[in-house]
């Protein structure tokens, strides 16, 4: 039986997930919980090496199925090395992206059939799912503008804006289909407002 609390943060580029992870971690730490912060792709030494391949703008020819398989290869290592052990110790795991990102980016964005992603999900995760997923949602144009100001564009951020619109649409579709797990946060507001929305959702878990 899964112990602990597994929270995932999702959203398109520029949604502010990385900044809010520290805020969320601080809330749980202040409440006396032990917190693990992690991310995908990445989270382990192997996963971080895979992340470099996936984000490297020089790898523009990476085929979509290869991209998906690399994501799940990193995810398997992440689950076995970080996530499951932390949950077994009743810790709070906060992860910047997880499998919903594969459905959104490689499914909605790249057009890979959902059934293929589901097969990989079942095989790699063996029933593991987030307890709560916070979807930080905002207009694609705003998100890409924010992302462009913070750093040089990686391989994903260089994609066409239509791809990100499909990704956002897929995220919202998944959130509407799983209302018990997902909470949608309006990430187009000010940072303080977004923190207030987030705190309201997390109150019952603290």
How many domains is the chain built from? 1
Residue 57 is part of a domain; what is its CATH number?
3.40.50.300
Give the whole-angstrom CA distance, residue 124 versus residue 118. 10
What share of the chain has pLDDT > 70, as a percent? 93
pLDDT at 1: 46
Q: What is the domain extent for residue 60?
A: 5-205
What is this structure's pTM?
0.92
Backbone φ and ψ of 25, nearest 5°: -60, -40
pLDDT tens, 118-156?
999 999 999 999 999 999 999 998 988 877 666 565 556
Decide: residue 129, CB within 10 A, 0-12 exposed, 13-18 middle, 19+ buried: middle
Residue range 178-184: mean pLDDT, rounded: 97
Nearest to 99 by CA among 69, 71, 127, 65: 71
Over the chain, what is the mean pLDDT? Answer: 92
Neighbours of 65 (CB within 10 A): 12
Q: Supply the pLDDT for residue 166.
A: 95
């Amino acid at each position: 039986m899964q112990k602990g609390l597994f929270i995932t943060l999702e959203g398109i580029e520029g949604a502010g997930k990385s900044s809010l992870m520290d805020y969320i971690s601080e809330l749980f730490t202040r409440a006396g919980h032990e917190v693990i912060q992690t991310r995908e792709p990445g989270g382990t030494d192997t996963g971080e090496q895979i992340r470099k391949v996936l984000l490297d703008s020089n790898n523009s020819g990476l085929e979509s199925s290869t991209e998906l398989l690399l994501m799940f290869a990193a995810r398997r290592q992440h689950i076995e090395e970080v996530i499951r052990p932390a949950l077994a110790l009743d810790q709070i795991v906060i992860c910047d992206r997880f499998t919903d990102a594969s459905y959104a980016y490689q499914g909605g964005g790249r057009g890979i059939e959902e059934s293929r992603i589901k097969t990989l999900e079942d095989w790699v995760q063996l029933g593991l799912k987030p307890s709560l997923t916070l979807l930080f949602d905002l207009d694609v144009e705003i998100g890409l503008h924010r992302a462009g100001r913070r750093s040089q564009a990686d391989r994903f951020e260089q994609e066409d804006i239509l791809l990100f619109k499909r990704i956002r649409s897929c995220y919202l579709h998944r959130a509407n289909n799983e209302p018990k797990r997902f909470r949608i946060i309006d990430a187009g507001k000010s940072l303080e407002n977004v923190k207030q929305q987030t705190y309201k959702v997390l109150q019952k878990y603290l």
